[in-house]
């Protein structure tokens, strides 16, 4: 098999390695924190003309990014565990910044509902529990497809048509509480 210059031969002795108990590891330079760039670091590009998220007037608004768990490939879920984030036996979790939790009167383990601030219709999912996580203030994360109902059909990238599931404006609150900050 021919491999492009600079690309390691990840499949050398594949048939032998695949039969090894426990499998084998395919190396991936970013996983080893290796970037073959002039700076030796990952380089991000901002494309001109790409607007930031539109402002939302509600001060309690957070931006939801939908996530995959450790044992998930796209929408196929292999277990209810996510060792990356310390979640075991369930997926109805919303990861929140501790300051955002305090501002909303939410404690670790509280049941919460998440409401999309889309203009087209009321979109709410409930039965989630709050988990403090190292996430930027103003942002929350939750698994998909559990949070897919929050994504308005009009939220998609105009060029690719990909759903914009990384910045959904939402409210997170304990059921039956007002949506305002304390």
pLDDT over 50 (residue 110): yes
Residue 160 lies in a domain: yes
Query: Is 17 part of any domain?
Result: no
The number of helix segments (H) and strand segments (E) in the chain equals 2, 8
In a domain, 167, yes or no: yes
Per-residue pLDDT, averaged over 118-145, amounts to: 92
Whether 138 contacts 168, CB under 8 Å: no
Q: Could you tell me which residues come within 8 angstroms of residue 118 by beta carbon, excluding any fewer than 6 positions away?
A: 150, 152, 154, 155, 168, 169
Least confident window among 33-42, 76-85, 103-112, 135-144: 33-42
Contact 159, 101 (CB under 8 A): no
Strongest mean pLDDT among 19-28, 51-60, 88-97, 148-157: 88-97
114 lies in some domain: yes
29 — pLDDT class (breaks 50, 70, 90): confident
Question: In degrees rounded to 5, what are phi and psi of residue 148?
Answer: -55, -35
Q: Is residue 11 part of a domain?
A: no
Q: In the predicted model, is pLDDT for residue 136 greater than 70?
A: yes
The answer to whether residue 36 is domain-embedded is no
Report the pLDDT value the prediction gives residue 158, as an integer from 0 to 100. 79
Beta bridge partners of 170: 62, 116
Find the domain containing 165 and state its range: 62-173
32 within some domain: no
What's the number of domains the chain is made of? 1
pLDDT at 3 (0 to 100) = 45
Between 171 and 42, residue with greater pLDDT: 171
Residue 181's pLDDT is 45
Averaged pLDDT for residues 98-112: 96
Q: For the domain that residue 136 is a member of, what is the CATH number?
A: 2.40.40.20
Cα radius of gyration rounded to whole Å, the chain: 20
Q: Is residue 38 part of a domain?
A: no
β-bridge pairing 139-143 and 62-67: parallel
Phi, psi for residue 4 in degrees, rounded to 5? -60, 150
Lowest mean pLDDT among 1-10, 22-31, 46-55, 113-122: 1-10
Among 49-53, 117-121, 163-167, the least confident range? 49-53
Q: What is the mean pLDDT of the chain?
A: 84
The token duo for 22 is 């426990």
């Amino acid at each position: 098999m021919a491999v492009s210059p600079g690309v390691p031969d990840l499949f050398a002795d594949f048939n032998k390695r695949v039969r090894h108990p426990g499998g084998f590891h395919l190396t991936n330079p970013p996983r080893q924190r290796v970037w073959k760039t002039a700076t030796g670091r990952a380089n991000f590009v901002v494309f001109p003309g790409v607007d930031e998220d539109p402002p939302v007037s509600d001060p309690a608004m957070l931006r939801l990014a939908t996530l995959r768990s450790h044992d998930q490939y796209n929408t196929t879920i292999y277990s209810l565990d996510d060792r990356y984030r310390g979640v075991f036996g369930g997926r109805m979790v919303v990861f929140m910044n501790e300051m955002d939790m305090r501002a909303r009167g939410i404690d670790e383990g509280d049941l919460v509902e998440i409401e999309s601030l889309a203009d087209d219709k009321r979109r709410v999912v409930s039965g989630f529990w709050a988990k403090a996580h190292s996430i930027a203030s103003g942002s929350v994360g939750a698994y998909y497809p559990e949070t897919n109902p929050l994504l308005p059909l009009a939220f998609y990238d105009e060029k690719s048509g990909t759903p914009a599931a990384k910045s959904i404006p939402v409210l997170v609150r304990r059921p039956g509480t007002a949506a305002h900050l304390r």
